[in-house]
Amino acid sequence: MVELAGVLVLLGALFTLLVLLAAPLILAFFLVATILRLVFFVIFLPFRILGWTVGIGLGALGLALKGAFLAGIVAFLILAGFVPLIPILLLGGLVYLLVRSARRREAPPVSA
């Protein structure tokens, strides 16, 4: 029983020594990884900003093209709706021309 207790104490001491040696290494690796992550973030930040700018620009261009396309469709539908009114407009124009030509013209004022 004493040997088992001694072995357990020895294993506990070895584990404690391992933790005491490994903890600074793990902390150092964690700090190096954090610093490298920050460095790469700073290095690639201009490219990320450029990508955001291009993405916003292309998004705005897409919205503008979509709006122009929809406006064209609406204009076409409105014009297509006016197509049946063309004969009425032509008749109205013909009546206007006939009435205008049938009016009596006044003589221009005489200048002295």
* Maximum pairwise Cα distance, the chain: 146
- Above 80 in pLDDT, residue 76? yes
Torsions phi, psi for 12 (to 5 deg): -65, -40
The Cα-based distances of 52 to 1, 6, 45, 60 in angstroms read 69, 64, 10, 12
Structure tokens at 92: 């109205």
Going from N- to C-terminal start, the domains of the chain cover: 2-101
Cα–Cα dist 75/64, whole Å: 16
Cα–Cα–Cα angle for 29, 32, 38, nearest 5°? Answer: 140
Summarize the confidence of residues 76-100 as an average pLDDT.
90
pLDDT digits (tens, 9 = 90+) for 47-64: 999 999 999 999 999 999
pTM of the shown model: 0.47
* Residue 19 CA to its chain's centroid (Å): 51
* 39-45 contacts at long range (C-beta below 8 A, 24 or more positions apart): none
